[in-house]
Amino acid sequence: MKNELATNLAPTAEASHQAVESSAFTPSANETKEFRMDQVPFPSVSHPPIPPMPPVTQVAAEAPDPFDPSQFAANSTVVGEAGVIKVLLACPVRKPNKQEFVRVHPDPDYRLAAHILELKTEQETYLVMPEVAAALPGETRLVTLMLTVSRQGNVFLWPVPAPNPQGRENHHWGRTARSAVDQGVNRWVRVVSNMSQGFYDVFVANVDLGNPVWPRESLRDLLAIAFGNTFIIRDLSHPVIKRLTGQS
């Protein structure tokens, strides 16, 4: 009887033990819900679309042309050495040569209305004081000395005939010379004597010849260089005046 009871109770105890183990490791209905971030309700935020990046293109730099004419073009009328200043030792008083292009300084401070006396044989030009010129009628002439420079950098004072005091022109030389000056202030000009017509022909450069290079000296210094003491007639005792008046 005891053996039968033990036999009948064994399966029951074993099943009870299995039921306990199963209940210990089996989650309840509340525990079966898994926590997932994608199931959490977050507020929706809209973002503007990101535009696509433009394609990156690389442009290869072109090598400079070794024979490009612009890199050889001179940008001034005088080419000097670096750090060297040209010393002006002479300043002739003359008209422009027919084969040179010239420019006239635009500043009135570089112009002087004055009397000059010209000795054609000796090819000498004298600056004459006004009171001396008044004592020598017909020997001097009234001009405007104008600072002028050639394209080669040659500096000189151009004696341009002044208008007739009475407003009358006896010839066309003076009028056309002054017209050449007006053109030469802003442009390179070439002045050629037209002997058959009795006036100057003026030719204007049709290409850019660059800017003129002007001297650093003032008009006072230019007069000193051009005339010095030898070629200035300050009174009637000057040797040239004595020779013209027959005193020597």
Give pTM, 2 decimals: 0.66
pLDDT of the residue at 189: 97
Asked if residue 181 lies in contact with residue 103, where contact means CB atoms within 8 angstroms, the answer is no
Total Cβ atoms within 10 A of residue 125: 20
pLDDT of the residue at 49: 72
pLDDT of the residue at 77: 45
pLDDT of the residue at 86: 75
Domain assignments of the chain as residue spans, ordered by start: 102-244
Whose tokens are 């009135």? That residue is 108
pLDDT of the residue at 158: 97
pLDDT of the residue at 169: 59
pLDDT of the residue at 87: 84
Cα atoms in the Cβ-side hemisphere of radius 13 Å centred on 96: 31
Q: What is the pLDDT along the chain (248 residues), one digit of tens a residue?
A: 445 544 454 455 454 545 445 454 455 545 555 555 555 565 555 666 776 766 656 656 677 776 676 655 554 444 445 566 778 999 999 999 999 999 999 999 999 999 999 999 999 999 999 999 999 988 999 999 999 999 999 999 999 999 876 655 557 889 999 999 999 999 999 999 999 999 999 999 999 999 999 999 999 999 999 999 899 999 999 999 999 988 87
The DSSP secondary structure of the chain, one letter per residue, reads -HHHHHHHHHHHHHHHHHHHHHHHHS--TTTT----GGGS-PPP---PPPPPPPPP--PPPPPPPTT-GGGT---SS----TT---------B-PPPTT--EEE---GGGEEEEEEEEETTTTEEEEE-HHHHHTSTTT-EEEEEEEEEETT--EEEEEEEPPPTTS--SSHHHHHHHHHHHHHTTS-EEEEEETTTTEEEEEE-SS--------SS-HHHHHHHHHTTTTEE-STTSHHHHHHTT--
